[in-house]
Amino acid sequence: MSFLKKNKTIILLLLILSIATFLRVWQLDSAPPGLYPDEAMNANDALTSLNNNQFKLFYPENNGREGLYFWLIALAFKIFGVSIWSLRFTSAIIGTLTVLGIYLLTKELFSKKIALLSSFFLAISFWHINFSRIGFRAILVPFLMCFSFYFLLRAFRKNNILNYIWAGVFFGLGFYSYIAFRVAVIFLGIIILTQIIKDMRWSNLWKIGLFLVVIFIVALPIGIYFLNNPLDFTGRTGGVSIFSTEQPLLEFGKSAVKIFFMFNVFGDWNWRHNYAGSPMLVWPIGILFILGMISTIKKLFSSEKYQSIFLLSWFAVMLLPAILTYEGMPHALRAIGIIPVVYIISALGGFWLFEKLSLAKMKSAKYLAAFLLIFIILYPGFRNFNKYFFDWAKKPETAMSFSNDYVKIGEYLNSLPDQVKKYVIVNEKGTPYYGLSIAAQTPIFIESAKFGKPRATYLPWQEIGQIEISPYKTVILTLYNHQAFEELQKMFPQGKIRQDEPYRFEIE
C-alpha cells in the first residue's frame, strides 16, 4: 500500500499512457478503413527515399511537404516492413508520446493533478486519436509544441543550459513538420518577452540567446532550401487564404464564428478529420473547456497571469492557420496546434469545478464532486472509444473519404499472377504527380508494399491507346468513372466488363 501511495502519480501516468497507446494502436490495420491518396503519397515518397537513401528536407509535390515525417515513416518501414500499419504506426507513436509531453508541460505550468487530468483528456480525445491513426505529418505539431515548451519552461525555472538546448532542438525541428507550425514563432516571441518582463536578470539573457541560436542552427538547412525555392515556402496557403478573397474581413468573421462553435456545437464536416459535423470536444469536456477558458481569462488579472498569458497566447496564435483560411471551415487539421492547450484548459475547468464542490460545507456537494470526477473520467473515454471504433470507423462515408475502393483495387492487382497484363486508367481528378492524378498513389503503394514496386501500368485516360493486349490475359481497372469501360468495349470488342468487385474490364 505504501508503494502505491508513494508512486501513485507514476502509476496513474503509466495507466494513462497505456490507454493512449491502446486507443492509437488497436485495429490500426483496419481503422480507419482505406488509405487516402495523400497518405499513400507520403508512404511512397518515404519508401523511395529509403530505397534510394536520399532523404529530402522538403518534398515539393502535392503542394509541398516538410521532410521530418517522411524520415520517420522510412524508419518505421525499415524496422517493421512496408505496410499501411507501419505508416500509421508512425503517427500512433508520435500521438502517444504527445500524451506524455502534455503531462510534463502541464506539470511545469501547474501541478501533477492538473497534468494527469489534461493528459487523460488528450489520451481519450477523438480529435487527437483520429490524427494519431492517419499518415499525415500534422500530428508532429502538438508533439513538438509540447516538448519544446516543456523544456523551455523547465529552463526558465531551473536556469539550466541543457534544457534551453533541448527546447531549441524541438522547436527547430518544428520547421520540418507542418506548415501550421510556423506561426508558433509568434507564440514563442510572446513567451520570451513575458519571461524577460517577469525575470529582469539580464545575466540570463545569453541563455535565451543560446536557445535561439540552437533553433537557428537546427532550422538552417530548410531555411536555406526555402531561400533557394521561395515558391515552396508558401505552398497551397495562398489558394485558401482569406486574403485571396474579395472580402477578407467578411471571410475572417465567418471563419471566426465557425471556430467559436466547433468545440461544442458543430465541428469539422470532413469525415477524414472528424465524425462529420459533431463537436470537436465530447460532452462534458466541452463544458469544462468553457469553464477553464473563463477561469484562465479571469486569472489574467491575478498572480497566475503568466500561466494565463501562456495558455491564451498559444490558443490564439495556433488558431491562425485555421482562422485565416476560408476553405472547409471549421478545419480540425489546420487547428491541430491548439489540441494540447484545449485539453490543458479543459483540465483547469475540471479541477476548478471539483475544487469548488470539494470545499463546500454540505456533504452532498462532496459526494457530487466525487461522482462528477468519476463521470468525467469514465463517460468521455467510453463515448469516444465507441464513437471511433464502432461508429465512425464503420461508416461508409468514412471508407469513402479514405478511398477504400482504391485499396481494394490495389489488393486485387496483388492477387493477379505475374503473366496477367495489368492496367489502371487514372481518370480521377486530383493534384497531378508525374502526369497522373494523386489518386493513383493508393494502389501504387498497395502494390509496392507487397512487391517492392507496382506491377500494373498506370495511364491517364488520354493515353489508353498505349494499352497492349497480352496473349494470356489483360485486366483493366479505372479509379473513377466506370463509363470508361464502354469506350474500352469499343476498342476491344473481345473484352468483357466484370461487375463484381472490383469493377473491371478483362480481355482473355
The 10s digit of each residue's pLDDT in 191-232 is 999 998 887 677 778 899 999 999 999 999 999 999 999 988
Helix or strand holding residue 497 (H, E): strand 496-498
212 or 354: which carries more pLDDT confidence? 212
5 domain residue, yes or no = no
Rounded CA-CA distance 121/293 in Å is: 16
Q: In this model, does residue 483 exceed pLDDT 80? A: no
Q: Lowest mean pLDDT: which of 146-160, 300-314, 491-505?
A: 491-505
Q: In this model, does residue 503 exceed pLDDT 60? A: yes
Residues 390 and 499 in one domain: no
2 domain residue, yes or no = no
Residues 350 and 460 in one domain: no
Nearest CA to 215 among 170, 153, 168? 168
**For residue 392, how many other CB atoms are within 10 A of its CB?**
21
Helix or strand holding residue 499 (H, E): none
12 domain residue, yes or no = no
Q: In this model, does residue 12 exceed pLDDT 90? A: yes
Rounded CA-CA distance 181/219 in Å is: 12
Q: How many domains does the chain have?
A: 2
Q: Which of residues 350, 372, 396 is at a domain's end?
A: 396
Amino acid symbol at 442: T
Segment 75-90 shows an average pLDDT of 98
State the residue for C-alpha cell 505508416: 87
pLDDT bin (cut points 50, 70, 90) of residue 437 is confident
Residues 328 and 418 in one domain: no
CA distances from residue 284 to 375, 379, 381 in whole angstroms, order as listed: 9, 8, 11
List the domain range (segments joined by +) for residue 475: 403-507
**For residue 310, how many other CB atoms are within 10 A of its CB?**
23
Rounded CA-CA distance 129/23 in Å is: 7
Residues 426 and 384 in one domain: no
Could you give the percent of the chain with pLDDT greater than 70? 96
Provide the pairing of β-strand 474-478 with 432-433.
unpaired
pLDDT at 187: 98
327 or 94: which carries more pLDDT confidence? 94
Q: Which of residues 396, 421, 439 is at a domain's end?
A: 396
pLDDT at 309: 96
23 domain residue, yes or no = no
Residues 392 and 283 in one domain: yes
pLDDT bin (cut points 50, 70, 90) of residue 361 is low
Residues 104 and 162 in one domain: yes
pLDDT bin (cut points 50, 70, 90) of residue 2 is confident
pLDDT at 360: 65
Contact 128, 339 (CB under 8 A): yes
State the residue for C-alpha cell 468487385: 501
Provide the pairing of β-strand 65-66 with 58-59.
antiparallel
Rounded CA-CA distance 375/367 in Å is: 12
483 or 478: which carries more pLDDT confidence? 478
Rounded CA-CA distance 398/88 in Å is: 16
Rg (CA), the chain: 25
* Residues forming a β-bridge with 498: 504
pLDDT at 495: 86
pLDDT at 6: 77
Q: Lowest mean pLDDT: which of 17-21, 101-105, 241-245, 316-320?
A: 241-245
Residues contacting 34, CB < 8 A, separation 6+: 399, 401, 402, 403, 404, 405, 406, 407, 442
Segment 346-365 shows an average pLDDT of 80
Residues contacting 94, CB < 8 A, separation 6+: 72, 132, 139, 140, 143
Half-sphere exposure for 67 (CA within 13 Å, toward CB): 18
Q: In this model, does residue 113 exceed pLDDT 70? A: yes
Segment 493-504 shows an average pLDDT of 83
Amino acid symbol at 475: V
pLDDT at 403: 94
13 domain residue, yes or no = no
Residues 376 and 440 in one domain: no
pLDDT bin (cut points 50, 70, 90) of residue 486 is confident
pLDDT bin (cut points 50, 70, 90) of residue 69 is very high
Q: In this model, does residue 365 exceed pLDDT 70? A: no
**For residue 111, how many other CB atoms are within 10 A of its CB?**
11
Contact 76, 89 (CB under 8 A): yes
**For residue 256, how many other CB atoms are within 10 A of its CB?**
14
Contact 405, 442 (CB under 8 A): no
Segment 361-382 shows an average pLDDT of 79
Residue 428 DSSP one-character state: S
**For residue 367, how many other CB atoms are within 10 A of its CB?**
11
pLDDT bin (cut points 50, 70, 90) of residue 261 is very high
**For residue 87, how many other CB atoms are within 10 A of its CB?**
25
CA distances from residue 373 to 146, 283, 357, 366, 446 in whole angstroms, order as listed: 25, 14, 11, 11, 46
Residues 336 and 411 in one domain: no
* Residues forming a β-bridge with 66: 58
Q: Which of residues 396, 429, 454 is at a domain's end?
A: 396
Segment 274-292 shows an average pLDDT of 95
22 domain residue, yes or no = no
pLDDT at 389: 97
76 or 435: which carries more pLDDT confidence? 76
Residues 247 and 139 in one domain: yes
6 domain residue, yes or no = no
Residues 168 and 88 in one domain: yes
Residues 300 and 367 in one domain: yes
- Arithmetic mean of pLDDT over the chain: 91
Residues 211 and 285 in one domain: yes
**For residue 453, how many other CB atoms are within 10 A of its CB?**
10
